Amino acid sequence: MSSTAPHITPEIVAEHGLSPEEYDRVLKAIGREPNLTELGIFSVMWSEHCSYKSSKIHLMKLPTTGPQVICGPGENAGVVDIGDGQAAIFKMESHNHPSYIEPYQGAATGVGGILRDVFTMGARPVANMNALRFGRPDHPKMRHLISGVVRGIGGYGNCVGVPTVGGEVNFHPAYDGNILVNAMTVGIADTDKIFYSAASGVGNSIVYVGSKTGRDGIHGATMASADFGDDADAKRPTVQVGDPFTEKLLIEACLELMASDAIVAIQDMGAAGLTSSSVEMASKGGVGLLLNMDAVPQRETGMTAYEMMLSESQERMLMVLKPGREAFAEAIFHKWELDFAVIGEVTDTGRMVLVHHGETVCDIPLAPLADDAPLYDRPSMPVDDYKAWSGVQPLGDIPESTDIGADLITLMGSPDIASRRWIWEQYDHMVGADTVQRPGGDAAVVRVHGSSKGIAISTDCTPRYCYADPYEGGKQAIAECYRNLSAVGAKPLAVTNCLNFANPQRPEIMAQLTGCLDGMGDACRALDFPIVSGNVSLYNESKATGGGSAILPTPAIGGIGLLADVDVMATVAFKNEGDAIWLIGGPEGALGTHLGQSIWLREIAGREAGEAPKVDLAAERANADMIRTLVASGSVNAVHDIADGGLIVTIAEMALAGKIGAQLDDTLSTAAAFGEDQGRYVVTASPGIDIPGAIRIGTTGGSTVAGVPLTDLRAAHEGFFPKLMDSEL
């Protein structure tokens, strides 16, 4: 064992993000003082980002099984059956802290990381999505952050050749000092060619492939497990740097090797790099490992074992190969001009042993790193106390709008509703030629190559609801995703998530986390919509904005659904003049009632007040079933779920997409026009088609909505982002 390492002081322990109590656990686990390399390994594996120590006990309550589920949480990504011997493999991840520090590389490497999670399991990635949250549009840093993030997502995804087909964007002052960048990837694989990460076979080679290891990203996982101080920019060296062209080569090389029988186990090097990948492979397989650090491909001179183990350099994978298959695998990776190195072997010791320059620099038991990481049941504020703490004011009496049309124009140009065209036109959303529903609808749809099947994909969350009522907000996030998939005609299959919250050591933040998870769990059970993968991102708050601001609770939901035939698919655009406009769902006898926490209330009345809307899960399921039946039968020719902005915004979006106006049968009240009651859809049908249980509310035609010309609505809707970003690109 190396004797040259410095003595571990309390200051060094604190710098590694471990509490004194956690360090005591380290001492008990290994029976002695660790050296610096060993401490670093415990530090990253016991970080919030890798261990989920503040959330795991609550995550275990979520529903994760179903007849469609092949593999639930615990692997690199979730796997669901889509029939015909095929599976969809998908996951969502966060890259929040890096994207605030260095937006282009932070967002780009977030895309690269989630791509690796998916193709690691044997899937060819077919679609990327994202869920982005920014602060005030007029914040001095925000244009720079928006520009960098969007260019990073597009730059990486476009180069790799995987279409970015949709996503969501929200703005709120709570994200001023801590933006959120959540990336999702969906891939397709044969069900008999899915790869897992558990290492096995004593004596089998452990192989490193991909790019060389550098000093970028060291302590990235630890940095992502702490809130931002005033020195956020000084953390730039912890941000990884990505190379999408290498990623493309890595995808092709891995898929080529996967077509053989050479691989025993495979794991990407994501957060905590070589440490987490090796520990996870060994612990899942119940084996040990011996690594020769001299054999690790390095792009910088004089790297220590500590640096190599904690580096988060991108485009790297770790494999266990069957005996005698090393030369075969090496030839494939060299053909694709990638590094290949045998860096160790599987052992039966249950320990991680690292040798560097002929000296043992690490010798620790594996079980404590993965299985015995600290788990905390942190104090959570009771619901009534949280309600008082949140400061959400009662809605009170709301005066009627003096001009529905003027309010509509304002909302169509507001940050949360304005067209995202400026964003998605920077993404290649058509590469691969299988995108059949482009950005701008309720859900993206990508054809399963060579078939008539389609995968529908949606990302959803309404953070203002989650803040006002975490339980209802959690329910709503799942329900809205379920609605969006159903709106295109797809049968919802399963969910991934990215749980973005602030400091879990604050009881009010734990109340948000547990409340949202309870709501999500109840919704998933009621809708048969299990959660099969996900990510937790905590400590999303910043002192850089002058007050320790926490983000809004943001449990971003990514859902997929299955379309049996992409030719039988709904879109939001009005199709013909003279079609009947119908409302499905909502409060009986009313077009809309709920203005609490609505976009109208915030943007027009200047208030964030009232209760979040209630979600009736039985009604959500029944209405979604009805929508899918109507789409499958061809009874409706346009469908759009009602979300931000309420009924009139939904109709305006359908009118703009179809370039056809709408004539409503009745004058709308403020609540009817802008209420955000849940579980509702607007559909259109040819004259003479009756839709039982629906309310006919108008007819398509003309060139206005609510008396406002489509030209004015389009100018407002399309103008926000180009005006905001004019000087950035």
Is 535 labeled as ligand-binding? yes
- d(CA 70, CA 107) in angstroms, rounded, equals 30
Measured from the Cβ of residue 629, the count of other Cβ atoms closer than 10 Å reads: 12
Catalytic residue among 49, 172, 356, 429: 49
- Residue 609 tokens read as 């007040």
Catalytic residue status for 49 = yes
Helix and strand counts by DSSP (H, E) for the chain: 25, 28
Is 178 labeled as ligand-binding? no
Give the helix/strand (H/E) hosting 360. strand 359-365
Sort 124 into a burial class: Cβ within 10 Å, 0-12 / 13-18 / 19+: middle
Measured from the Cβ of residue 31, the count of other Cβ atoms closer than 10 Å reads: 8
Residue pair 79/183 in contact (Cβ under 8 Å)? The answer is: no
Catalytic residue among 95, 172, 219, 640: 95
Is 497 labeled as ligand-binding? yes
Sort 29 into a burial class: Cβ within 10 Å, 0-12 / 13-18 / 19+: middle
Is 268 labeled as ligand-binding? yes
Residue pair 309/275 in contact (Cβ under 8 Å)? The answer is: yes
Q: Of the candidates 338, 340, 186, 339, which has an alpha carbon nearest to the alpha carbon of residue 248?
A: 338
- Residue 604 tokens read as 């027009």
* Cα distance from N-terminal residue to C-terminal residue, the chain: 54
Is 458 labeled as ligand-binding? no
- d(CA 222, CA 202) in angstroms, rounded, equals 32
Cα-to-chain-centroid distance, residue 659 = 33
Sort 67 into a burial class: Cβ within 10 Å, 0-12 / 13-18 / 19+: exposed
3-class DSSP assignment, residue 236: helix
Measured from the Cβ of residue 369, the count of other Cβ atoms closer than 10 Å reads: 27
Is 96 labeled as ligand-binding? yes
Is 97 labeled as ligand-binding? yes
Residue pair 540/173 in contact (Cβ under 8 Å)? The answer is: no
Is 537 labeled as ligand-binding? yes
Is 116 labeled as ligand-binding? yes
Is 534 labeled as ligand-binding? yes
- d(CA 621, CA 617) in angstroms, rounded, equals 6
Measured from the Cβ of residue 222, the count of other Cβ atoms closer than 10 Å reads: 24
Q: How many Cα atoms occupy the beta-carbon half-sphere of 395 within 13 Å?
A: 19
For the chain, helix, strand, coil in percent to 5 are 35, 25, 40
Residue-by-residue DSSP string for 242-295: --HHHHHHHHHHHHHHHTTT-EEEEEE--TTHHHHHHHHHHHHHT-EEEEEGGG
3-class DSSP assignment, residue 721: helix
Is 420 labeled as ligand-binding? no
Beta-carbon contacts of residue 43 (< 8 Å; ≥ 6 apart):
16, 17, 18, 222
- How many residues comprise the chain? 729
Catalytic residue status for 429 = no
Is 313 labeled as ligand-binding? yes
> Would you list which residues are annotated within the binding site for substrate?
94-97, 116, 240, 312-314, 537
Binding site, annotated residues for Mg(2+): 93, 117, 268, 535
Pick out the residues of the known binding site for ATP: 52, 91, 497, 534
Q: Which residues line the annotated binding site?
A: 52, 91, 93-97, 116-117, 240, 268, 312-314, 497, 534-535, 537
What residues are labeled active site? 49, 95
